[in-house]
Amino acid sequence: MQSVSRQGQEPRSGPWWTRRWVQWGGGILLLIFLLLFPYLFPRPFLRRMAILVLLWSLLGLAWNIIGGYGGQVSLGHAVFFGLGAYTSSILLERWQVSPWLGMLAGAAVAAIAALLIGWPTFRLQGHYFAIATIAAGEIFAILFRNWEWAGGAVGIYLPLIRGDQLVNFQFHETKVPYYYIVLVMALLAVAVTYALERSRAGYYLRALRADQDAARSLGVPITRYKLIAMVISAVLTAIGGTFYAQFVLYISPNTVFALMLSVQMCLVAVLGGLGTIAGPIIGAMVLIPMAEYTRVFLGGRGGGLHLVVYGLLIVIISVFQPAGLVGLLRRRTRPTPPPAMPTPAEEGIA
Amino acid sequence: MDLTILAQTVASGLLIGLVFSLLAVGLTLIFGVMDIVNFAHGEFLMLAMYVTYWLWVLWGMDPLFSLPISALVMFILGALTYLLVIRYVLDAPMLAQIFSTFGLMIFLRFLAQVLWTEDYRRIRGSLLEGRIEIAGVFLGRPEVAAALGGIITTAILYWFLKGTRLGWALEATAEDRTVAALMGINTEWMFTLAWGIGSACAGIAGTLLATFYPIFPEAGAVFVLVTYVAVALGGFGNITGAFVGGILIGLLQVVGGFLWEPRFKDVLVYGVYLLVVLVRPQGLLGRR
């Protein structure tokens, strides 16, 4: 089985960008650039965009853990995002609990939800699993829409706290602190993914993605490792949900439990390239500016024209580059294109 | 008294369930032939509603007569979808397939919004308007017509698949596209046909719904999510399963909503689905 080759070896040959030192150097340069970004580009529009790109990188990386490495196509991740957002917001609004503690509580709630959703649905495969996660997502959306105590369909306006202190997780003078917070969160997701890639769990996940029955017959506890991946993914997604609530300061079931949200998390990862670290980040860097710019240029009249273009672009991308943008890079490193889904991560490009 | 109300509820559930059935049958036909879920199915339904509406407003054509036209329009649209998009993702990963039809869904929904705004539109005064009474149970004539349309279309489709050579060819392609091609079946044409017929089902359902349901860009989304559940409940690719699944969903929605709380009717639908696949991961009538 070539799909689970040894990780961590220096690729002997191959183009220059596959060399280890090039990748590390590039990563460090990128990090310096990211740290300086708010001062290099002080325009509020770009700052907001950078924050959104990082938030979506985080969400894409989170989705990638179960969807990319584990191969379980979840279209219900908005559940975890919404639970993260709602838990911290309710704690803040009702009992003035710091959103940082609320974030931890939200992560815990999302982890429990991941177990509750994963345990029955991980027996399903392919489209049955995807539809089941949509069903789970819709159940949460309907319940929160009708849960008056939690704001019902209107949602929750978060109490404004002036003073711009880190402990309040609210910044009104400048949005720069949001940028650094979400940057740390995205880096956390990168670190988690990096560690997972090199762990036993990472190999098990890729093995069960490549061939579930073969992995099971070799003694991989399939459901347990799917659940582990789902919980990690849910926790990271919930953290993103709390960040969103604190950034926008308003949440409602239609924004944080939306099916479109689940789909976009998946889309970010797929667009960039599944089962790689770089994939979701590249996906977010392409998709979010694309969506924001079309919104600015075409959405001014409120007609939804930007979404027409957005939809069309999604179709075009999936037709012409089904392996994601990382696949574009990889295609040039080999004479023949590899199969898109089964083994993207193991080639050392990540 | 109570019995009448219950009978009334069951009857309405059955009627709307038969419309779900028609939608689900179209969806499952496409899936059965090439293992692709059409996430734009609801948008085809919505477009058919608009076709019916504009024929009614501009030319005064009654939905009863515009039915074949909207079926034909949707057949062509479905076939074009295959030829222009799906053909290129047939061998792509499942996610690329999902996103190709998902992108199409977003494209069509917001195109409708740009062209015709978010306003609710209704068709008033069609030939079908009014209601009938059977043993104390009142039924809207448009709903009855829609249910009848659902049954008749499914019956014709069933006959076509089981009783004609073309239908056999389609089923053979669904069974194994490589072997079917070796047997001299033009599978490319079969795929186009499946998309055409599946979409025409949505077209017929759309016209029938337009006689009693408001017409707006998100109308498709309202129906199609539970239709996916109906398809999965019956077993992907299983025509009979989809038909039964649709009826079950309709009954669950209306009767469950009546006994519990109308606003939680879809929680019941999704919950029952999750329970069923917990016991039978392949759906009620699906094969493993």
Query: Which ipTM value was assigned to this complex?
Result: 0.85
Residue A324 and residue A270 in contact, taking contact as beta carbons nearer than 8 Å: yes
Residues in chain A within 8 Å Cβ distance of B114: 303-305, 308
Residue A13 confidence class, pLDDT cut points 50, 70, 90: low
Q: What's the number of CA atoms in the CB half-sphere (13 Å) around residue B21? A: 28
Chain B residues touching residue A310 (CB < 8 angstroms): 106
Q: Is the pLDDT of residue A331 over 60?
A: no
pLDDT tier for residue A239 given thresholds of 50, 70 and 90: very high
Classify A95 as helix, strand or coil: helix
3-state SS assignment for residue B138: strand
Contact between residue A259 and residue A134 where contact means Cβ atoms under 8 Å apart: yes
Three-state DSSP class for A314?
helix
Residue A95 has pLDDT above 50, yes or no: yes
Residue type, B91: D
Closest by CA to B27, choosing from B245, B175, B262, is B245
Which of B91, B99, B275 has the most A C-beta neighbours within 10 Å, making it the best mutation to test the interface with A? B99
C-beta atoms of A135 and B270 within 8 A: yes
Is residue A107 pLDDT above 90, yes or no?
yes
**Minimal-distance CA residue of chain B relative to A119:** B278
Q: In Å, what is the CA distance from A22 to each residue of A18, A26, A35?
A: 7, 6, 20
Domain count, chain A: 1
User: How many interchain CB pairs under 8 A, A with B?
Assistant: 138
In a domain, A118, yes or no: yes
Mean pLDDT of chain A: 83
- Between CA A152 and CA A242 the distance in angstroms is 18
- pLDDT of the residue at B276: 85
A317 pLDDT above the threshold of 90: no
Q: Is residue A342 part of a domain?
A: no
DSSP label at B137?
A: E
Q: What is the pLDDT of residue A307?
A: 83
DSSP state of B131: E
State the smallest CA–CA distance between residue A235 and chain B in angstroms: 23
Q: What confidence score (pLDDT) does residue B33 get?
A: 86
A340, closest residue in chain B (CA to CA): B93
Mean predicted confidence (pLDDT) in B185-203: 92
Tell me if A101 is assigned to some domain.
Answer: yes
Q: Is the pLDDT reported for residue A87 higher than 60?
A: yes
Q: Which residues of A touch B223 (CB under 8 A)?
A: none
Does the pLDDT at position A347 exceed 60? Answer: no
Handedness of CA A88, A292, A192, A114 (dihedral sign): positive
> Over the stretch B20-33, which tens digit does the pLDDT of each residue have?
999 999 999 998 88
Tokens of B117: 């705004």
What percentage of chain A carries pLDDT values higher than 90?
Answer: 36
pLDDT at site A329: 59
User: In angstroms, what separates the C-alpha of B135 from chain A's closest C-alpha?
Assistant: 36
Chain A contact set for B34 (CB, 8 A):
none
Whether B102 sits inside 8 A of A314 (CB atoms) is yes
Among A78-82, B137-141, B181-185, top mean pLDDT goes to A78-82
Task: Count CB-CB contacts under 10 A for residue B144.
Answer: 17
Mean pLDDT for all residues in chain B:
88
What pLDDT, on the 0 to 100 scale, is given for residue B288?
54
Which residue in chain B is spatially nearest to A315 when comparing CA positions?
A: B100
End-to-end CA distance of chain A: 20
* Helix, strand, coil content of chain B in percent (nearest 5): 75, 5, 20
Confidence of residue A325 (pLDDT cuts 50, 70, 90): low
Which residues of B fall within a CB distance of 8 Å from A323? Answer: 93, 96
Using the beta-carbon criterion (under 8 Å), do A130 and B98 form an inter-chain contact? yes
**What token pair was written down for A188?**
């956390």
- Taking the CA of residue A195 and the nearest CA in chain B, the distance in Å comes to 25
Q: Is the pLDDT of residue B274 over 60?
A: yes
Across the interface, of A124, A135, A314, the residue whose CB is closest to B106 is A314
| Per-residue model confidence as pLDDT tens digits over B131-167 | 787 777 888 888 888 899 999 999 999 999 888 999 8
Task: Identify the band that residue B1 occupies on the pLDDT scale cut at 50, 70 and 90.
Answer: low
A270 lies in some domain: no
What is the mean predicted confidence (pLDDT) over B10-21? Answer: 90
Start-to-end CA distance of chain B, whole Å, equals 46
Q: Which range (A51-65, A115-129, A318-332, B36-50) has the least confidence? A: A318-332
Query: What proportion of chain B, given as a percentage, has pLDDT over 90?
Result: 38
A contacts of B108 (beta carbons < 8 Å): 311
The pLDDT of residue A300 is: 60
CB contact under 8 A, B283 and A341: no
Position B237 confidence tier, pLDDT thresholds 50, 70, 90:
confident
* Shortest Cα–Cα distance, B88 to chain A (Å): 6
Nearest C-alpha of chain B: how many angstroms from A158?
26
Condensed to tens digits (0 to 9), the pLDDT of residues B74-106 reads 999 999 999 999 998 888 888 888 889 989 999
CA distance A171 to chain B (A): 34
Helices (H), B60-214: 63-84, 94-116, 141-163, 165-175, 177-182, 187-210
| Residue numbers in A near B278 (CB within 8 A) | 120, 123
Model pLDDT, residue A342: 41
Q: Which amino acid is at B241?
A: G
Q: How many H helices and E strands in chain B? A: 12, 2
Q: Is the pLDDT of residue A2 over 50?
A: no
A125, A134, A311 ranked by CB distance to B225: nearest: A134
Region A184-198 average pLDDT: 93
Q: State the Cα angle at A342 between A339 and A343, rounded to 5°.
A: 85
Contact between B145 and B207 (Cβ < 8 Å): no
CA distance B118 to chain A (A): 9
Residue A301 pLDDT grade (very low, low, confident, very high; cuts 50, 70, 90):
low
Nearest residue of B to residue A123 by CA position?
A: B281
What's the rounded Cα separation, in Å, for the pair A107 and A86? 11
Structural domain of residue A238, as residue ranges? 44-263
- Give the predicted TM-score (pTM) of the model: 0.86
Residue B90: the pLDDT is 86
Q: Does position A334 have pLDDT exceeding 50, yes or no? A: no
* Tokens 């988690």, located at residue: A192
**Subunit contact A132:B107, Cβ cutoff 8 A:** no
Task: Render pLDDT for A267-298 as a digit per residue (tens, 0 to 9).
Answer: 888 888 888 888 899 889 988 888 888 888 87
Domains of chain B: 2-279 (1.10.3470)
Contacts with B96 from chain A: Cβ below 8 Å: 270, 318-319, 322-323, 340
